[in-house]
Amino acid sequence: MSAFTWNEKYRLHVKDMDDQHRVLIGLVGQLDDAMREGKGKQTLGLILERLVDYTKVHFAAEERLMKAAGYPEYQEHKIIHAKMTSKVMDLERQFKDGKAMLTLDVMKFLTDWLQKHILGTDKKYSPFLSSPSMN
């Protein structure tokens, strides 16, 4: 079982975002588990593809909420999303082309990336978007 799992420290008190972060963390965990179990390239590729696709869906939803709430750092956050999306898409492309393997370093990158994004950048918008029923 992956060492990277949902933890209450990731809670933003924005229900949709918390739910989506759980899914993203779960996908990174599935990818980690599959890699450690020596699953084939096809299985790893499918999980990586789901992770990339869900990342795009999540970022779009997050940006809609930030924009609707008038979050003052919306543009900066959107730029960070674009850079992160580009990185994971590049990783997926390299993996599919056989130019990159999923290694512990790649998993560390994905885990660090998601943790830092949730605990850093996303925590900043939490007070602007938090759901009273989630507090």
Per-residue pLDDT of the chain (135 residues; tens, 9 = 90+): 677 899 999 999 999 999 999 999 999 999 989 988 988 888 888 999 999 999 999 999 999 999 999 999 999 999 999 999 999 999 889 988 988 788 888 888 889 989 999 999 999 999 888 755 434
Has residue 26 been placed in a domain? yes
What does the alpha-carbon distance between residue 18 and residue 126 come to, in Å, rounded to a whole number? Answer: 10
Q: Give me the domain span that covers residue 87.
A: 13-134
> What are the residues whose beta carbons fall under 8 Å from the beta carbon of 115, sequence distance 6 or more?
4, 10
Has residue 128 been placed in a domain? yes
For residue 43, give the CATH number of its domain.
1.20.120.50
Q: How many CB atoms lie within 10 A of CB 28?
A: 22
For the whole model, what pTM was predicted?
0.89
Has residue 5 been placed in a domain? no
Q: If you compute the radius of gyration of the chain from its CA atoms, what whole number of angstroms results?
A: 15
Has residue 8 been placed in a domain? no
DSSP letter for 99, please.
S
Per the structure, the count of domains in the chain is: 1
